[in-house]
Chains A and B, each alone.
Chain A
Amino acid sequence: MKKVTEKQAIYDIAIIGSGVTGLAAAMYAGRMKLKTILIGFPPGGVIATTDWIENYPGFISLSGKELADKITAHAKEYGIEPILDNVTDVSQQDGVFVVQTAFRQYRAKTILFSTGTHYRKLEVPGSDTYEGKGVQFCGLCDGPMFQNKTLAVVGGGDSAAKEALILTQWAQRIYIMVRGDRLKAEPINLERVNQSEKITLLLNTNVTRIEGGDRVEKVLLDKPFQGNKELAVQGVFIAIGSVPLSDLAKKLGVKTNPKGEIVINRQTGTNIKGVFAAGDVTDTEFKQAITGVAEGVLAVYQAYKYIGGEAVSSCVDEEYLDCPMASENLRKQPE
């Protein structure tokens, strides 16, 4: 949390959510000289809880936290100081957006929702009872507590594959429970899963119940594995996707799809003027750090134009004929 001195200032843009999307947007907003407030908690968002990122252009491999820290440092270069707090309410009063945190209120001409997602919980008996007692959500945070243990990772996508791979550092055996008939991971991660001697894939398998004493001791399956519907595990890591954090946006009347994702147009605009959204909270199909970052940057540019900023030409060479400004200049030239 950083000290804020200006109380009643009207910001050009309030960015809610400081995952990579919000951080990149804030960096750009700083460059566009927009009076910017970035509020989010926790800093870095979901990417900070994953160990290695190998598909963010320019970095062959780095940890998610490193990536978030780098974008934070980049934003700070342009004078952005993220406020570490939860936004509890948003409203629109007299054409200005009012953003409420636990401690302060901020006013802004535009809003960018980069609120991302939260882990989806597994809705089976025992899941709530054992949350924090063996039902976990972050391999990096909790993996070392499961040294030489047998674990279940529940999920069928790339996050499940990555969680299982992270957990191989500590666990003795890991079962990935996949509801469908294949693990839909990035091909490179799928290959790693298949090569790992510690990981076993249980396809077409659902966990129906989690049981134990003080802590998790076993999962019950809807289909026998090695002739048994009970599997002894000491931990269950859940990676079954996520729920978009769009409730605040909905309060402003922002349109969401049946999944709760904010519906945006190609320019990241929502159905409400001055309200933009980017990253994992939106209805974009392919949700990655790079796509969120790109949307965040685009949103800031739209916000900049919305509050009256002049369009910025992306033409580097005015003599380049495809560039609208260049062709105009060429047209003006005497014969």
Chain B
Amino acid sequence: MSEVPEDIAETVVKRFEEELKKPVRLVYFTQEMECPFCAQTHQLLETVAKLSENIGFEVYDFVKDKEKAEELGIEKIPALAILGGKDYGLRFYGIPSGYEFQTLIEGIILVSSGDSQLPSEAVEVLAKAATSPVHIQIFVIPTCPVCPVLGAMAFQFAVANSNISVDIVEIAEFPHLVNKYNVIGTPKAALNETTQFEGLVPPMQFINFIQQAAQGSPTGISPTI
């Protein structure tokens, strides 16, 4: 999907009108000879940016704009940094199509307000868990209906806690990561190269994994859904 269907666009516009009060920058990295999914991703993001005047769209060349890529920690393309009043560490690698379109919209809304929407108790528990930087990668596919739940939850954690950064990775574009992280089912999460889990887990369980990653203790896989 590089075009947004009209009914979906209408719903998104309505949500943006209600919830997108502050500016958001979609900073997109591609390259001159666009990769297979780069052109589609480019078109999709351009369309999304047009759905609200509060969204700015910037395009950088991954090779030529090396400094910008380094500044935002971008190591592969197609890549998107979703920036609000500050950089909350939200990244999307690959095309946010299918169900993943929802994750993109949630990310945009979260960084706009800078409010994680988490209950204050959850933010406190998270603060105690994420005592050092935790980089979360969530591997997804566009047909996975439960993936956006985990992705949006991780985005909430990143907005709530500056020690957390999140990459959503659409695996079709990055087959080497499928092998590296042994992704057989989605969603699958890899935290700080030490902790992994597969499936959709409730918030508290996710926070426990974050704590393990922050402490550097390795864990195996705990499939749920």
Contact = CB atoms under 8 A, between A and B. Distances in A.
B149 A43 contact: yes
Interface string A15-48: 0000000000000000000000000011110001
Contacts of A324: none
B185 A2 contact: no
Nearest to B185: A142
Given A49-B146, A141-B147, A1 B199 contact: no
A131 B223 contact: yes
A103 B119 contact: yes
Q: Interface residues of B toward A: which range? A: 35 or more
Interface stretch (A132-140, A219-227, A267-275): A132-140
Given A144-B143, A214-B182, 12 more contacts: A1-B117, A48-B146, A64-B145, A84-B203, A86-B203, A103-B121, A132-B185, A133-B184, A141-B141, A141-B185, A142-B185, A145-B178
Contacts of B118: 1, 3
26 contacts: A1-B117, A1-B122, A1-B153, A42-B149, A49-B145, A49-B146, A64-B145, A84-B153, A84-B202, A84-B203, A85-B202, A102-B125, A103-B121, A103-B203, A103-B204, A104-B119, A131-B223, A132-B198, A137-B225, A138-B225, A140-B144, A141-B145, A141-B186, A142-B185, A145-B141, A145-B183
Interface string A233-272: 0000000000000000000000000000000000000000
B199 A41 contact: no
Interface residues of A, number: 34
B119 A1 contact: yes
A41 B202 contact: yes
Nearest to A144: B141
B203 A132 contact: no
B221 interface: yes
Nearest to B221: A132
The 3 A-B pairs of least Cβ separation, nearest first, read: A102-B204, A103-B121, A132-B223
B112 interface: no
Nearest to B157: A1
B203 to A, nearest CB: 6
Given A41-B202, A49-B225, A143 B143 contact: yes
A172 interface: no
Interface of B: 99, 115, 117-122, 125, 141, 143-147, 149, 153, 156, 172, 178, 182-187, 198-200, 202-204, 221, 223, 225
Contact of B145 (A86, A136, A140): A140
A218 interface: no
Interface of A: 1-4, 41-44, 48-49, 63-65, 84-86, 102-104, 131-134, 136-138, 140-145, 214-215
Contact of B200 (A42, A63, A136): A42
Judged by DSSP, the binding face of B is loop
Given A3-B118, A42-B200, A64-B145, A141 B225 contact: yes
Contacts of A85: 202-204
A42 B200 CA distance: 8
A133 B181 CA distance: 12
Nearest to A133: B184
A142 B200 CA distance: 13
Nearest to B220: A132
B117 A86 contact: no
A224 B172 CA distance: 37
Contact of A145 (B121, B185, B200): B185
Given A42-B149, A132-B185, A144-B141, A103 B125 contact: yes
Most B CB within 10 A of own CB, among A63, A84, A141: A141
A41 B225 CA distance: 11
A41 B120 CA distance: 19
A119 B204 CA distance: 21
A103 B145 contact: no
A49 B144 CA distance: 8
A22 to B, nearest CB: 15
